[in-house]
Each structure stands twice: as structure tokens, then as C-alpha cells.
Amino acid sequence: MATSMKQIYLTREEWGADKGKLVGSVTFSGPAGEVKIRVNNDKAVEIMKLLADSLVECAKETAALMREDLLEAVAVPQMLPEATESSL
């Protein structure tokens, strides 16, 4: 079994010296165990830049699916017979 990435964790600090900065960790797992590397703000920003385009695409796909669901939910079957000139 080869070493593989197990988890990426990023968060924005809410207090302390790093308040407002992105921090986190990356965990790798392999036959010899796990290694967790701390990620500072600069590295976290680089990771976010790599993910930005994928996030936008995912958001577009999700919005399209939500739109379809919404349109299906509001589609009301026609319950009244269509009006004809003779019925008016």
C-alpha cells in the first residue's frame, strides 16, 4: 500500500494571533502510519486558488439541479378543462 492523502482541513481562525487567516492541515496515511502537516495562511491560500475553478463549476451544476427541482415542484397539472370559444 502506498502513502496517500487522507484529509485536507482548512479553516479561518476566529481569534488569537492568526485571527482572520486561513490555517489547517494535510494528513497523509501509509504503511508506517500517518503524518499530519500544518498549513499556514500562505499555503492555504494557494490550495484555495487551486480549488476555486472547481468550486465555481460545482456551484453551477448544483444551481442547475436545484432549478430543475424547483421547476418540477411548481409545475401544476392542468386541472380545469381548456376554455373554448363556445364555453365563453
Q: 11-26 pLDDT, tens per residue?
A: 999 999 989 999 999 9
Q: What is the pLDDT of residue 7?
A: 96
Residue 51: domain span: 4-74
Tell whether the model's pLDDT for residue 87 goes beyond 60.
no
Amino acid 83: pLDDT: 60
pTM over 0.85: no
| Number of domains the chain is built from | 1
Q: What is the pLDDT of residues 40-72, one digit of tens each?
A: 999 999 999 999 999 999 999 999 999 999 888
Checking if the pLDDT of 78 tops 80, the result is: no
Residue at 14 is within a domain? yes
- Asked whether the beta carbons of 35 and 25 are under 8 A apart, the reply is no
**How many angstroms from the chain centroid is the CA of residue 30?**
27
Distances (CA, A) of 21 to 17, 59, 82: 9, 24, 62
